[in-house]
Amino acid sequence: MDTFKTPKAKRPRKSQFTPTKEGATPVKIPASPFMEKLGWGTAVSVYRMERSPKVGCIRSPWAIKRVIHRNSTSRKSRASSGNEISGRLCKEAEILKSLDHPNIVGFRAFTKSVDGRFTLAMEDGQRSLLSLIEERLEKVETSLLPVGSHDDSGNTGQLVPDMPFPAWAVLRVASGLASALRYLHEEALLMHGDMKSDNVLIKGDFDVVKLCDFGVSLKVDKNGEALDGEQYIGTRHWLPPEVISLEDEEIEWEEGDEPLPKVNTQADMYSYALTAWEMLSLKFPHCPTTEDEEEENASNSFEENLLLGTRPPFPEACLKDPSYVPVIELIHCCSDEDPDKRPTSEQAVEWLKLIEASGAMKKTVEEQENVMPNANGVQTSESPAPS
């Protein structure tokens, strides 16, 4: 009889992912075709990764942000662009790992594949605010008939210029984002630097609001001013006026001139206001919405540039509806061209607490209060917000 030998354990396969640096998390992420694509940004794609459940435990999905390869005629150009995007993703992972706040998307893992692409795994935020805005706009456009046409019942259709989100929804988003900004500005000593609807995540029926995308965030001091070497990048149509002015001053600045003014956390408050404004207008600030406007603006880009850094006009429907008064007051104050006149994130949080206490953030009409404070704390009579 042959002598029994204990079988040797097979050598475990080496993971295809390796930590990018000390502190990185080695984790196996599926190939992109095996995940649901949620969206994309500058040279990055975002997917939803469903995770296998463990015994006695249900595991929530992750949002996966991955650098994508770009085709380029120049290998040097492609490498330079890839290094910049990868650097931003590394920076975002480092920042995100250090943050802990209910209104900021949670860090899950950071790794690198064998082909050199960086991958950031985050808490799944379900939907971006931008996708909700686009979906609402599409429903509005498809449900309306052109002026002069008739539906099956013979009624003449009318074009409605806007169909904003209800006031309670805008206020919930504003409250969650203000809380996130206060944490960043006062505790983490960071400026987000790129506030817009695309960087806001929504769970449920505006039940949870989370801020994401910290790839261009700036470090600030205790006074809220950007540290030396930090550059505000942002996105063009959300740029605050002081950043636009600073860009012009940097072009003309020469050695020996007085130091240029520094951008501070109040820049976030301007972009914060325009993010709330997007929910009212269902469009990007200072952007054309029709082909005619696009053609007109293409031949007159100078006038369009003059609008950047200003407060865009409010939709007429919101100005006529009393339930939007606190929303309009908040946007109006936070989009002031003078950063010193804008409320801080702390002041916005405190004011929104008063609004929430008035019942204006409750969904159903029956739960709405008829009295809510305005920006100066004065009680004003309001009709219930639409559900």
Helix, strand, coil shares of the chain, percent, nearest 5, are 40, 15, 45
Phi, psi (rounded to 5 degrees) for 180: -65, -40
Sheet bearing 118-123, strands edge to edge: 36-41, 44-49, 62-67, 118-123, 107-112
Residue pair 327/280 in contact by the 8 Å Cβ criterion: yes
> What kind and span of H or E run contains 12?
none
Phi, psi (rounded to 5 degrees) for 120: -110, 125
**How many other C-beta atoms are found inside a 10 Å radius of the C-beta of residue 79?**
11
Q: Which of 124, 194, 213, 336 is catalytic?
A: 194
Q: Alpha carbon 134 to chain centroid distance?
A: 14
Secondary structure of 120-171 as H, E, C letters: EEEECCCEEHHHHHHHHHHHHHHHCCCCCCECCCCCECCCCCCCCCCHHHHH
CB-based burial, 248-258: b 16+ in 10 Å, e otherwise: eeeeeeeeeee
207 tagged catalytic: no
CA distances (Å), origin 281, targets 20, 30, 338? 42, 38, 23
CA distances (Å), origin 131, targets 249, 279, 282? 36, 11, 11
Looking at the annotation, which residues are catalytic?
194
